[in-house]
Structure 1
Protein backbone atom coordinates (compact mmCIF):
# COMPACT_ATOMS: atom_id res chain seq x y z
CA UNK A 1 0.00 0.00 0.00
CA UNK A 2 1.37 3.45 -0.91
CA UNK A 3 2.19 5.97 1.82
CA UNK A 4 -0.31 8.81 1.37
CA UNK A 5 1.84 11.04 3.62
CA UNK A 6 4.62 11.23 1.01
CA UNK A 7 4.30 14.61 -0.74
CA UNK A 8 4.08 14.81 -4.51
CA UNK A 9 7.25 15.81 -6.35
CA UNK A 10 7.64 19.60 -6.64
CA UNK A 11 7.07 19.74 -10.43
CA UNK A 12 3.82 17.80 -9.95
CA UNK A 13 2.69 20.12 -7.14
CA UNK A 14 3.45 23.10 -9.36
CA UNK A 15 1.54 21.65 -12.30
CA UNK A 16 -1.49 21.13 -10.05
CA UNK A 17 -1.24 24.77 -8.96
CA UNK A 18 -1.00 25.96 -12.57
CA UNK A 19 -4.01 23.93 -13.69
CA UNK A 20 -6.23 24.47 -10.64
CA UNK A 21 -5.33 27.95 -9.40
CA UNK A 22 -3.93 29.68 -12.47
CA UNK A 23 -6.19 27.92 -14.99
CA UNK A 24 -3.40 27.46 -17.47
CA UNK A 25 -3.96 25.30 -20.54
CA UNK A 26 -3.06 21.62 -20.57
CA UNK A 27 -0.26 22.33 -23.06
CA UNK A 28 1.23 25.06 -20.84
CA UNK A 29 1.00 22.91 -17.70
CA UNK A 30 2.74 20.01 -19.43
CA UNK A 31 5.53 22.24 -20.80
CA UNK A 32 6.11 24.07 -17.50
CA UNK A 33 6.21 20.84 -15.52
CA UNK A 34 8.84 19.47 -17.90
CA UNK A 35 10.90 22.65 -17.41
CA UNK A 36 10.75 22.30 -13.61
CA UNK A 37 11.85 18.68 -13.87
CA UNK A 38 14.80 19.67 -16.07
CA UNK A 39 15.82 22.44 -13.67
CA UNK A 40 15.80 20.12 -10.64
CA UNK A 41 17.83 17.51 -12.48
CA UNK A 42 20.36 20.17 -13.52
CA UNK A 43 20.66 21.61 -10.01
CA UNK A 44 21.10 18.13 -8.55
CA UNK A 45 24.11 17.58 -10.83
CA UNK A 46 25.32 21.21 -10.62
CA UNK A 47 25.36 21.29 -6.81
CA UNK A 48 26.02 17.60 -6.24
CA UNK A 49 23.16 17.25 -3.78
CA UNK A 50 19.44 16.60 -3.60
CA UNK A 51 17.27 19.66 -4.20
CA UNK A 52 14.20 20.31 -2.08
CA UNK A 53 11.89 23.30 -1.84
CA UNK A 54 14.08 25.06 0.72
CA UNK A 55 17.17 24.60 -1.44
CA UNK A 56 15.51 26.41 -4.34
CA UNK A 57 15.81 29.67 -2.37
CA UNK A 58 19.59 29.43 -2.94
CA UNK A 59 19.34 29.55 -6.72
CA UNK A 60 21.35 32.48 -8.07
CA UNK A 61 21.45 34.29 -11.38
CA UNK A 62 24.70 32.43 -12.05
CA UNK A 63 22.94 29.10 -11.56
CA UNK A 64 20.25 30.12 -14.03
CA UNK A 65 22.83 31.28 -16.58
CA UNK A 66 24.57 27.90 -16.26
CA UNK A 67 21.23 26.13 -16.72
CA UNK A 68 20.39 28.15 -19.83
CA UNK A 69 23.87 27.55 -21.22
CA UNK A 70 23.29 23.81 -20.87
CA UNK A 71 19.89 24.11 -22.54
CA UNK A 72 21.31 26.26 -25.34
CA UNK A 73 23.85 23.49 -25.94
CA UNK A 74 20.94 21.30 -27.05
CA UNK A 75 20.12 23.77 -29.83
CA UNK A 76 17.50 25.86 -28.03
CA UNK A 77 16.65 29.08 -29.91
CA UNK A 78 16.56 32.51 -28.27
CA UNK A 79 12.77 32.48 -28.24
CA UNK A 80 12.61 29.02 -26.66
CA UNK A 81 15.29 29.95 -24.12
CA UNK A 82 13.31 33.05 -23.16
CA UNK A 83 10.19 30.94 -22.62
CA UNK A 84 12.23 28.44 -20.60
CA UNK A 85 13.56 31.22 -18.35
CA UNK A 86 10.05 32.58 -17.84
CA UNK A 87 8.84 29.13 -16.73
CA UNK A 88 11.83 28.71 -14.39
CA UNK A 89 11.15 32.09 -12.77
CA UNK A 90 7.52 31.16 -12.27
CA UNK A 91 8.52 27.87 -10.65
CA UNK A 92 11.01 29.53 -8.28
CA UNK A 93 8.52 32.27 -7.34
CA UNK A 94 5.94 29.59 -6.59
CA UNK A 95 8.39 27.58 -4.50
CA UNK A 96 9.79 30.49 -2.49
CA UNK A 97 7.21 33.24 -2.79
CA UNK A 98 6.85 36.12 -5.26
CA UNK A 99 10.25 37.70 -5.85
CA UNK A 100 12.21 34.58 -4.91
CA UNK A 101 13.53 34.05 -8.43
CA UNK A 102 16.77 35.95 -9.10
CA UNK A 103 16.45 38.79 -11.57
CA UNK A 104 18.41 38.48 -14.80
CA UNK A 105 17.98 39.50 -18.41
CA UNK A 106 16.76 36.82 -20.72
CA UNK A 107 17.93 36.20 -24.29
CA UNK A 108 17.04 38.94 -26.74
CA UNK A 109 14.21 37.83 -28.98
CA UNK A 110 13.55 39.53 -32.26
CA UNK A 111 9.80 39.91 -32.60
CA UNK A 112 8.59 38.58 -35.88
CA UNK A 113 5.58 39.99 -37.66
CA UNK A 114 2.82 37.43 -38.33
CA UNK A 115 2.37 36.94 -42.05
CA UNK A 116 -1.25 36.77 -43.17
CA UNK A 117 -2.49 35.10 -46.32
CA UNK A 118 -4.81 36.77 -48.80
CA UNK A 119 -8.59 36.25 -48.74
CA UNK A 120 -8.34 34.26 -52.00
CA UNK A 121 -5.63 32.04 -50.51
CA UNK A 122 -7.68 31.48 -47.34
CA UNK A 123 -10.70 30.34 -49.35
CA UNK A 124 -8.53 28.24 -51.71
CA UNK A 125 -6.90 26.55 -48.71
CA UNK A 126 -10.23 25.69 -47.07
CA UNK A 127 -11.64 24.50 -50.38
CA UNK A 128 -8.66 22.24 -51.08
CA UNK A 129 -8.81 20.69 -47.60
CA UNK A 130 -12.54 20.11 -48.02
CA UNK A 131 -12.22 18.55 -51.48
CA UNK A 132 -9.46 16.19 -50.32
CA UNK A 133 -11.95 14.18 -48.27
CA UNK A 134 -14.09 11.40 -49.74
CA UNK A 135 -16.46 11.48 -46.75
CA UNK A 136 -19.07 14.26 -47.20
CA UNK A 137 -19.52 14.98 -43.49
CA UNK A 138 -15.72 15.17 -42.95
CA UNK A 139 -15.43 17.55 -45.90
CA UNK A 140 -18.20 19.70 -44.40
CA UNK A 141 -16.44 19.60 -41.02
CA UNK A 142 -13.07 20.75 -42.38
CA UNK A 143 -14.71 23.55 -44.39
CA UNK A 144 -16.60 24.73 -41.29
CA UNK A 145 -13.54 24.65 -39.01
CA UNK A 146 -11.30 26.62 -41.39
CA UNK A 147 -14.00 29.16 -42.21
CA UNK A 148 -14.51 29.66 -38.48
CA UNK A 149 -10.80 30.42 -37.99
CA UNK A 150 -10.69 32.89 -40.86
CA UNK A 151 -14.19 34.32 -40.59
CA UNK A 152 -14.31 34.76 -36.79
CA UNK A 153 -10.63 34.88 -35.81
CA UNK A 154 -10.73 31.90 -33.46
CA UNK A 155 -7.69 30.02 -32.27
CA UNK A 156 -7.76 26.37 -33.35
CA UNK A 157 -8.11 25.27 -29.71
CA UNK A 158 -11.08 27.61 -29.23
CA UNK A 159 -12.86 26.21 -32.27
CA UNK A 160 -12.31 22.61 -31.24
CA UNK A 161 -13.48 23.32 -27.68
CA UNK A 162 -16.96 24.32 -28.89
CA UNK A 163 -19.77 21.95 -27.95
CA UNK A 164 -23.24 21.19 -29.22
CA UNK A 165 -24.51 23.84 -26.80
CA UNK A 166 -23.78 26.52 -29.44
CA UNK A 167 -26.61 25.12 -31.59
CA UNK A 168 -28.87 26.45 -32.89
CA UNK A 169 -26.58 29.23 -34.08
CA UNK A 170 -27.45 32.89 -33.89
CA UNK A 171 -25.68 35.93 -35.28
CA UNK A 172 -22.98 35.72 -32.60
CA UNK A 173 -20.98 33.01 -30.87
CA UNK A 174 -19.71 32.89 -27.28
CA UNK A 175 -16.11 31.71 -27.25
CA UNK A 176 -13.96 30.67 -24.27
CA UNK A 177 -10.34 31.62 -24.82
CA UNK A 178 -7.12 31.61 -22.84
CA UNK A 179 -7.43 31.56 -19.05
CA UNK A 180 -11.17 30.97 -19.41
CA UNK A 181 -11.84 34.49 -20.72
CA UNK A 182 -15.06 34.57 -22.74
CA UNK A 183 -15.90 36.86 -25.61
CA UNK A 184 -18.66 37.30 -28.16
CA UNK A 185 -17.77 37.12 -31.85
CA UNK A 186 -20.08 37.79 -34.79
CA UNK A 187 -20.83 34.94 -37.19
CA UNK A 188 -20.83 35.88 -40.85
CA UNK A 189 -23.61 34.17 -42.84
CA UNK A 190 -21.19 31.92 -44.81
CA UNK A 191 -19.53 30.77 -41.58
CA UNK A 192 -22.89 30.09 -39.92
CA UNK A 193 -24.10 28.21 -43.00
CA UNK A 194 -20.95 26.06 -43.06
CA UNK A 195 -21.34 25.04 -39.42
CA UNK A 196 -25.05 24.31 -39.87
CA UNK A 197 -24.34 22.18 -42.94
CA UNK A 198 -21.74 20.19 -41.02
CA UNK A 199 -24.07 19.75 -38.02
CA UNK A 200 -26.75 18.37 -40.33
CA UNK A 201 -24.33 15.81 -41.81
CA UNK A 202 -22.33 14.59 -38.81
CA UNK A 203 -23.35 10.97 -38.06
CA UNK A 204 -23.46 11.38 -34.27
CA UNK A 205 -26.14 13.07 -32.17
CA UNK A 206 -25.19 16.63 -31.29
CA UNK A 207 -25.62 16.62 -27.51
CA UNK A 208 -25.13 19.91 -25.68
CA UNK A 209 -22.10 18.68 -23.74
CA UNK A 210 -20.53 16.77 -26.66
CA UNK A 211 -17.79 18.22 -28.90
CA UNK A 212 -19.16 20.17 -31.85
CA UNK A 213 -16.38 19.03 -34.18
CA UNK A 214 -15.87 15.25 -34.23
CA UNK A 215 -13.10 12.96 -35.38
CA UNK A 216 -13.88 10.02 -37.66
CA UNK A 217 -14.47 7.73 -34.65
CA UNK A 218 -16.84 10.15 -32.97
CA UNK A 219 -14.49 11.65 -30.38
CA UNK A 220 -13.35 15.26 -30.27
CA UNK A 221 -11.50 16.37 -33.39
CA UNK A 222 -7.76 16.66 -32.69
CA UNK A 223 -5.96 19.84 -33.71
CA UNK A 224 -3.12 17.77 -35.14
CA UNK A 225 -5.50 16.38 -37.77
CA UNK A 226 -6.42 19.90 -38.90
CA UNK A 227 -2.77 20.97 -39.06
CA UNK A 228 -1.80 17.87 -41.06
CA UNK A 229 -4.56 18.45 -43.59
CA UNK A 230 -3.61 22.12 -43.93
CA UNK A 231 0.07 21.19 -44.50
CA UNK A 232 -0.95 18.81 -47.29
CA UNK A 233 -3.21 21.42 -48.89
CA UNK A 234 -0.63 24.21 -48.83
CA UNK A 235 1.87 21.87 -50.51
CA UNK A 236 -0.63 21.11 -53.26
CA UNK A 237 -1.40 24.83 -53.69
CA UNK A 238 2.22 25.96 -53.49
CA UNK A 239 1.56 28.21 -50.48
CA UNK A 240 4.17 29.29 -47.95
CA UNK A 241 5.06 27.17 -44.92
CA UNK A 242 3.64 30.07 -42.87
CA UNK A 243 0.21 28.99 -44.08
CA UNK A 244 -1.06 27.29 -40.91
CA UNK A 245 -4.44 27.20 -39.18
CA UNK A 246 -3.21 30.01 -36.91
CA UNK A 247 -2.29 32.10 -39.98
CA UNK A 248 -6.03 32.22 -40.75
CA UNK A 249 -6.53 34.05 -37.43
CA UNK A 250 -3.70 36.44 -38.33
CA UNK A 251 -5.37 37.04 -41.68
CA UNK A 252 -8.72 37.75 -40.02
CA UNK A 253 -7.08 40.44 -37.86
CA UNK A 254 -4.98 41.97 -40.63
CA UNK A 255 -7.80 42.17 -43.13
CA UNK A 256 -10.14 43.80 -40.58
CA UNK A 257 -7.46 46.33 -39.66
CA UNK A 258 -6.86 47.07 -43.33
CA UNK A 259 -10.56 47.83 -43.73
CA UNK A 260 -10.45 50.38 -40.89
CA UNK A 261 -11.29 48.30 -37.82
CA UNK A 262 -10.59 49.99 -34.49
CA UNK A 263 -7.74 48.46 -32.48
CA UNK A 264 -9.84 48.23 -29.31
CA UNK A 265 -12.64 46.47 -31.19
CA UNK A 266 -10.10 44.11 -32.75
CA UNK A 267 -8.69 43.40 -29.28
CA UNK A 268 -12.14 42.31 -28.12
CA UNK A 269 -12.73 40.15 -31.19
CA UNK A 270 -9.38 38.38 -30.79
CA UNK A 271 -9.71 37.94 -27.03
CA UNK A 272 -6.37 39.60 -26.25
CA UNK A 273 -5.85 40.50 -22.59
CA UNK A 274 -3.79 43.58 -23.47
CA UNK A 275 -3.82 46.03 -26.36
CA UNK A 276 -0.10 45.51 -26.91
CA UNK A 277 -0.84 42.00 -28.21
CA UNK A 278 -3.20 43.47 -30.79
CA UNK A 279 -0.90 46.33 -31.82
CA UNK A 280 1.42 43.86 -33.56
CA UNK A 281 -1.12 43.83 -36.38
CA UNK A 282 -0.41 47.47 -37.15
CA UNK A 283 3.04 46.22 -38.12
CA UNK A 284 1.49 43.41 -40.15
CA UNK A 285 -0.66 45.86 -42.08
CA UNK A 286 2.30 48.18 -42.69
CA UNK A 287 4.40 45.23 -43.91
CA UNK A 288 1.59 44.16 -46.24
CA UNK A 289 1.27 47.66 -47.68
CA UNK A 290 5.03 47.78 -48.25
CA UNK A 291 4.89 44.46 -50.10
CA UNK A 292 2.10 45.81 -52.32
CA UNK A 293 4.04 49.04 -52.91
CA UNK A 294 7.21 47.20 -53.92
CA UNK A 295 5.28 44.91 -56.25
CA UNK A 296 3.25 47.66 -57.91
CA UNK A 297 5.46 50.74 -57.97
CA UNK A 298 7.52 51.16 -61.16
CA UNK A 299 10.59 51.99 -59.04
CA UNK A 300 9.86 49.21 -56.51
Structure 2
Protein backbone atom coordinates (compact mmCIF):
# COMPACT_ATOMS: atom_id res chain seq x y z
CA UNK A 1 0.00 0.00 0.00
CA UNK A 2 1.54 3.29 -1.17
CA UNK A 3 -1.35 5.60 -0.30
CA UNK A 4 -0.82 8.31 2.30
CA UNK A 5 -2.88 8.18 5.54
CA UNK A 6 -5.13 10.92 4.11
CA UNK A 7 -5.71 8.98 0.87
CA UNK A 8 -6.36 5.77 2.84
CA UNK A 9 -9.02 7.59 4.86
CA UNK A 10 -10.66 8.87 1.65
CA UNK A 11 -10.79 5.27 0.32
CA UNK A 12 -12.41 4.10 3.56
CA UNK A 13 -14.98 6.93 3.67
CA UNK A 14 -16.05 6.13 0.09
CA UNK A 15 -16.41 2.49 1.12
CA UNK A 16 -18.68 3.17 4.13
CA UNK A 17 -20.72 5.69 2.12
CA UNK A 18 -21.23 3.71 -1.09
CA UNK A 19 -20.90 0.04 -0.16
CA UNK A 20 -21.98 -0.02 3.49
CA UNK A 21 -24.57 2.72 2.93
CA UNK A 22 -24.02 4.19 6.41
CA UNK A 23 -25.92 7.31 7.44
CA UNK A 24 -24.37 10.76 7.05
CA UNK A 25 -24.09 11.04 10.86
CA UNK A 26 -22.21 7.70 11.15
CA UNK A 27 -19.86 8.57 8.28
CA UNK A 28 -19.11 11.91 9.94
CA UNK A 29 -18.26 10.16 13.23
CA UNK A 30 -15.97 7.65 11.46
CA UNK A 31 -14.15 10.45 9.67
CA UNK A 32 -13.70 12.54 12.84
CA UNK A 33 -12.49 9.54 14.92
CA UNK A 34 -9.95 8.39 12.34
CA UNK A 35 -8.76 11.92 11.56
CA UNK A 36 -8.05 12.45 15.26
CA UNK A 37 -5.96 9.26 15.33
CA UNK A 38 -4.04 10.27 12.18
CA UNK A 39 -3.18 13.64 13.79
CA UNK A 40 -1.94 11.74 16.87
CA UNK A 41 0.26 9.50 14.66
CA UNK A 42 1.70 12.55 12.89
CA UNK A 43 2.56 14.14 16.25
CA UNK A 44 4.29 10.88 17.23
CA UNK A 45 6.38 11.01 14.06
CA UNK A 46 4.57 8.11 12.36
CA UNK A 47 4.22 9.05 8.68
CA UNK A 48 3.14 5.70 7.22
CA UNK A 49 0.29 3.42 8.33
CA UNK A 50 2.71 0.50 7.87
CA UNK A 51 4.62 1.83 10.90
CA UNK A 52 1.62 1.64 13.26
CA UNK A 53 2.18 -0.85 16.09
CA UNK A 54 0.29 -1.96 19.18
CA UNK A 55 2.21 0.52 21.33
CA UNK A 56 0.79 3.41 19.27
CA UNK A 57 -2.74 2.11 19.81
CA UNK A 58 -2.12 1.83 23.57
CA UNK A 59 -0.59 5.32 23.78
CA UNK A 60 -3.53 6.79 21.88
CA UNK A 61 -6.13 5.21 24.17
CA UNK A 62 -4.12 6.31 27.24
CA UNK A 63 -4.17 9.86 25.89
CA UNK A 64 -7.99 9.71 25.52
CA UNK A 65 -8.31 8.57 29.15
CA UNK A 66 -5.98 11.36 30.29
CA UNK A 67 -8.25 13.88 28.52
CA UNK A 68 -11.14 12.61 30.66
CA UNK A 69 -13.12 11.19 27.77
CA UNK A 70 -16.11 8.93 28.58
CA UNK A 71 -15.59 5.19 28.16
CA UNK A 72 -18.40 4.95 25.63
CA UNK A 73 -16.70 7.58 23.45
CA UNK A 74 -13.34 5.79 23.73
CA UNK A 75 -14.99 2.50 22.83
CA UNK A 76 -16.58 4.10 19.75
CA UNK A 77 -13.24 5.53 18.63
CA UNK A 78 -11.58 2.12 19.00
CA UNK A 79 -14.35 0.57 16.87
CA UNK A 80 -13.97 3.27 14.19
CA UNK A 81 -10.20 2.85 13.92
CA UNK A 82 -10.45 -0.95 14.09
CA UNK A 83 -12.91 -0.89 11.15
CA UNK A 84 -10.51 1.39 9.25
CA UNK A 85 -7.58 -0.99 9.72
CA UNK A 86 -9.76 -4.02 8.93
CA UNK A 87 -10.70 -2.36 5.64
CA UNK A 88 -7.04 -1.59 4.86
CA UNK A 89 -6.10 -5.19 5.67
CA UNK A 90 -8.75 -6.51 3.30
CA UNK A 91 -8.09 -4.05 0.47
CA UNK A 92 -4.35 -3.42 0.76
CA UNK A 93 -3.09 -6.27 2.95
CA UNK A 94 -2.07 -3.85 5.73
CA UNK A 95 -1.50 -5.41 9.15
CA UNK A 96 -4.56 -4.70 11.35
CA UNK A 97 -3.14 -6.31 14.52
CA UNK A 98 -2.51 -3.07 16.52
CA UNK A 99 -6.20 -2.35 17.10
CA UNK A 100 -7.42 -5.93 16.78
CA UNK A 101 -5.48 -6.70 19.96
CA UNK A 102 -6.90 -3.75 21.87
CA UNK A 103 -9.60 -4.34 24.47
CA UNK A 104 -12.70 -2.17 24.62
CA UNK A 105 -13.08 -0.35 27.95
CA UNK A 106 -15.85 -1.70 30.16
CA UNK A 107 -19.07 0.26 29.88
CA UNK A 108 -19.98 2.53 32.76
CA UNK A 109 -23.04 1.24 34.56
CA UNK A 110 -25.27 4.24 34.09
CA UNK A 111 -29.03 3.95 33.90
CA UNK A 112 -30.87 6.08 31.35
CA UNK A 113 -32.34 9.35 32.62
CA UNK A 114 -36.08 9.72 32.13
CA UNK A 115 -38.99 11.94 33.15
CA UNK A 116 -41.54 10.85 35.71
CA UNK A 117 -45.12 11.12 34.45
CA UNK A 118 -45.83 14.16 36.65
CA UNK A 119 -42.77 15.99 35.26
CA UNK A 120 -43.76 15.19 31.70
CA UNK A 121 -47.31 16.39 32.29
CA UNK A 122 -45.92 19.71 33.55
CA UNK A 123 -43.63 19.97 30.52
CA UNK A 124 -46.57 19.53 28.15
CA UNK A 125 -48.92 21.89 29.99
CA UNK A 126 -46.65 24.93 30.19
CA UNK A 127 -45.66 24.69 26.53
CA UNK A 128 -49.18 24.81 25.09
CA UNK A 129 -49.73 27.94 23.01
CA UNK A 130 -51.52 29.22 19.92
CA UNK A 131 -48.61 31.03 18.27
CA UNK A 132 -46.83 29.35 15.35
CA UNK A 133 -43.68 28.53 17.29
CA UNK A 134 -45.55 26.96 20.24
CA UNK A 135 -47.72 24.83 17.92
CA UNK A 136 -44.63 23.49 16.15
CA UNK A 137 -42.70 22.86 19.36
CA UNK A 138 -45.57 20.98 20.98
CA UNK A 139 -45.90 18.78 17.88
CA UNK A 140 -42.18 17.88 18.17
CA UNK A 141 -42.51 17.11 21.89
CA UNK A 142 -45.67 15.01 21.41
CA UNK A 143 -44.15 13.02 18.54
CA UNK A 144 -40.84 12.28 20.29
CA UNK A 145 -42.64 11.03 23.40
CA UNK A 146 -45.35 9.17 21.46
CA UNK A 147 -42.91 7.20 19.30
CA UNK A 148 -39.56 7.07 21.13
CA UNK A 149 -37.80 7.82 17.85
CA UNK A 150 -34.28 9.19 17.66
CA UNK A 151 -33.88 12.91 16.95
CA UNK A 152 -32.12 12.10 13.65
CA UNK A 153 -35.17 10.06 12.65
CA UNK A 154 -37.49 12.88 13.68
CA UNK A 155 -35.71 15.54 11.61
CA UNK A 156 -35.67 13.34 8.49
CA UNK A 157 -39.44 12.65 8.44
CA UNK A 158 -41.30 13.85 5.37
CA UNK A 159 -45.00 14.63 5.08
CA UNK A 160 -45.73 11.48 3.07
CA UNK A 161 -44.26 9.32 5.87
CA UNK A 162 -47.30 9.97 8.11
CA UNK A 163 -50.54 8.01 7.79
CA UNK A 164 -53.15 9.88 9.82
CA UNK A 165 -55.91 7.35 9.03
CA UNK A 166 -54.08 4.54 10.83
CA UNK A 167 -52.03 6.87 13.10
CA UNK A 168 -48.70 5.37 12.06
CA UNK A 169 -45.43 6.90 10.93
CA UNK A 170 -42.60 5.48 8.84
CA UNK A 171 -39.06 6.21 9.99
CA UNK A 172 -35.64 5.31 8.64
CA UNK A 173 -33.50 4.01 11.49
CA UNK A 174 -29.86 3.03 11.94
CA UNK A 175 -28.40 0.97 9.12
CA UNK A 176 -31.17 2.42 6.91
CA UNK A 177 -33.67 -0.01 8.43
CA UNK A 178 -37.24 1.14 7.96
CA UNK A 179 -39.82 0.68 10.69
CA UNK A 180 -43.42 1.66 11.31
CA UNK A 181 -44.38 3.22 14.67
CA UNK A 182 -47.91 3.96 15.89
CA UNK A 183 -48.74 7.23 17.64
CA UNK A 184 -51.64 8.22 19.88
CA UNK A 185 -54.40 10.78 20.02
CA UNK A 186 -52.37 13.63 21.57
CA UNK A 187 -49.62 13.38 18.93
CA UNK A 188 -52.28 13.04 16.21
CA UNK A 189 -53.96 16.30 17.30
CA UNK A 190 -50.68 18.19 17.73
CA UNK A 191 -49.35 17.10 14.31
CA UNK A 192 -52.63 17.90 12.52
CA UNK A 193 -52.73 21.39 14.04
CA UNK A 194 -49.06 22.00 13.18
CA UNK A 195 -49.37 20.80 9.55
CA UNK A 196 -52.62 22.67 8.87
CA UNK A 197 -51.93 25.91 10.72
CA UNK A 198 -48.28 26.48 11.66
CA UNK A 199 -46.20 24.81 8.94
CA UNK A 200 -47.72 26.78 6.00
CA UNK A 201 -46.93 30.06 7.81
CA UNK A 202 -43.34 28.97 8.49
CA UNK A 203 -42.68 27.69 4.97
CA UNK A 204 -43.20 31.11 3.27
CA UNK A 205 -41.48 30.76 -0.13
CA UNK A 206 -39.75 27.46 0.68
CA UNK A 207 -40.75 24.23 -1.07
CA UNK A 208 -39.69 20.91 0.49
CA UNK A 209 -41.37 17.91 2.10
CA UNK A 210 -39.64 17.79 5.49
CA UNK A 211 -42.18 17.67 8.30
CA UNK A 212 -40.44 19.91 10.82
CA UNK A 213 -39.05 23.27 9.74
CA UNK A 214 -37.22 26.09 11.46
CA UNK A 215 -38.59 29.62 11.85
CA UNK A 216 -37.28 30.52 8.38
CA UNK A 217 -38.96 27.54 6.71
CA UNK A 218 -35.76 25.53 6.23
CA UNK A 219 -35.26 21.92 7.35
CA UNK A 220 -34.98 21.63 11.13
CA UNK A 221 -31.68 20.11 12.31
CA UNK A 222 -30.89 17.91 15.32
CA UNK A 223 -29.16 20.91 16.93
CA UNK A 224 -32.35 22.91 16.38
CA UNK A 225 -34.41 20.25 18.17
CA UNK A 226 -32.00 20.27 21.14
CA UNK A 227 -32.32 24.06 21.38
CA UNK A 228 -36.14 23.84 21.25
CA UNK A 229 -36.24 21.21 24.01
CA UNK A 230 -33.88 23.26 26.20
CA UNK A 231 -36.17 26.28 25.84
CA UNK A 232 -39.17 24.13 26.77
CA UNK A 233 -37.54 22.71 29.91
CA UNK A 234 -36.57 26.24 31.04
CA UNK A 235 -40.15 27.38 30.54
CA UNK A 236 -41.38 24.46 32.67
CA UNK A 237 -38.83 25.38 35.40
CA UNK A 238 -37.97 21.72 35.89
CA UNK A 239 -34.70 21.18 37.76
CA UNK A 240 -33.13 18.91 35.17
CA UNK A 241 -31.39 19.14 31.83
CA UNK A 242 -33.13 17.75 28.78
CA UNK A 243 -31.71 16.14 25.69
CA UNK A 244 -33.64 14.42 22.88
CA UNK A 245 -32.70 10.90 23.99
CA UNK A 246 -34.35 11.55 27.38
CA UNK A 247 -37.75 11.41 25.69
CA UNK A 248 -36.74 8.15 24.02
CA UNK A 249 -35.71 6.76 27.44
CA UNK A 250 -38.97 8.04 28.94
CA UNK A 251 -41.02 6.41 26.17
CA UNK A 252 -39.40 3.00 26.80
CA UNK A 253 -39.53 3.27 30.60
CA UNK A 254 -43.20 4.29 30.70
CA UNK A 255 -44.19 1.48 28.32
CA UNK A 256 -42.45 -1.15 30.47
CA UNK A 257 -43.80 0.35 33.70
CA UNK A 258 -47.30 0.01 32.28
CA UNK A 259 -46.99 -3.62 31.23
CA UNK A 260 -45.54 -3.63 27.69
CA UNK A 261 -43.34 -6.62 26.87
CA UNK A 262 -39.64 -6.22 26.10
CA UNK A 263 -39.81 -7.52 22.52
CA UNK A 264 -42.47 -4.98 21.57
CA UNK A 265 -40.44 -2.13 23.05
CA UNK A 266 -37.35 -3.41 21.20
CA UNK A 267 -39.22 -3.31 17.89
CA UNK A 268 -40.66 0.16 18.55
CA UNK A 269 -37.22 1.55 19.44
CA UNK A 270 -35.58 -0.11 16.44
CA UNK A 271 -32.93 -1.88 18.51
CA UNK A 272 -31.08 -4.58 16.60
CA UNK A 273 -30.32 -6.50 19.81
CA UNK A 274 -32.54 -7.19 22.80
CA UNK A 275 -29.63 -6.41 25.13
CA UNK A 276 -29.89 -2.73 24.14
CA UNK A 277 -33.52 -2.70 25.32
CA UNK A 278 -32.88 -4.68 28.50
CA UNK A 279 -31.21 -1.68 30.17
CA UNK A 280 -34.71 -0.26 30.66
CA UNK A 281 -35.71 -3.25 32.78
CA UNK A 282 -33.12 -2.07 35.33
CA UNK A 283 -34.80 1.33 35.35
CA UNK A 284 -38.25 -0.18 35.87
CA UNK A 285 -36.96 -2.46 38.64
CA UNK A 286 -35.48 0.57 40.38
CA UNK A 287 -38.82 2.36 39.95
CA UNK A 288 -40.67 -0.61 41.49
CA UNK A 289 -38.21 -0.75 44.39
CA UNK A 290 -38.56 2.98 45.13
CA UNK A 291 -42.36 2.74 44.96
CA UNK A 292 -42.30 -0.21 47.37
CA UNK A 293 -39.93 1.50 49.82
CA UNK A 294 -42.05 4.66 49.85
CA UNK A 295 -45.45 2.92 50.02
CA UNK A 296 -45.07 -0.18 52.20
CA UNK A 297 -45.67 0.50 55.93
CA UNK A 298 -42.94 -1.96 57.02
CA UNK A 299 -40.40 -1.23 54.28
Normalising by structure 1, what TM-score? 0.85
Alignment of 1:214-225 (within 5 A): 214-225=213-224
Q: Matched residue of 1:97: which SS?
A: helix
Partner of 2:196: 200
**Partners in 2 of 1:196 and 1:32 — Cα distance?**
38
Shift of 1:299: 5.6
Distance 1:129 1:25 in 2: 32
2:156 is the alignment partner of 1:161: yes
Task: State the match for 1:37 in structure 2.
Answer: 35
- Cα separation, 1, equivalents of 2:244 and 2:85: 35
Map 1:60-99 → 2, pairs under 5 A: 60-97=53-90
CA RMSD of aligned residues (A): 2.8
Give me the whole-angstrom Cα distance separating, in 2, the residues matched to 1:211 and 1:268.
Answer: 24
Inter-partner Cα distance in structure 1 for 2:10 and 2:239 = 40
**Separation of aligned partners in 2, 1:206 and 1:265:** 42
- In the alignment, what sits opposite 1:50? 47
1:140 is matched with which residue?
135
Deviations 1:219-240 (A, max 9, x none): 1112222222322332343434
Contact 1:40/1:51 (<8 A) preserved: no
The answer for unaligned runs of 5 or more in structure 2 is none
Q: Distance in 2 between matches of 1:110 and 1:184?
A: 32
Q: Give the conservation status (yes or no) of the 8 Å contact 1:153–1:270.
A: yes
Query: Structure 1's 217 and 8: CA in aligned 2 closer, same or farther, altered over 3 A?
Result: same
TM-score by length of 2: 0.85
Could you tell me how far apart the structure 2 residues matched to 1:39 and 1:167 are? 42
Q: Give the one of 121, 124, 140 matched to 1:123.
A: 121
Shift in CA distance, 240/290, structure 1 to aligned 2, threshold 3 Å: farther
Runs (4+) of structure 1 exceeding 4 A deviation are: 5-8, 205-209
Query: Per-residue displacement from partner, 1:170-208 (whole Å, max 9, x unpaired)?
Result: 322211111111111112122111111100012238999
- State the SS of the aligned residue for 2:100: coil
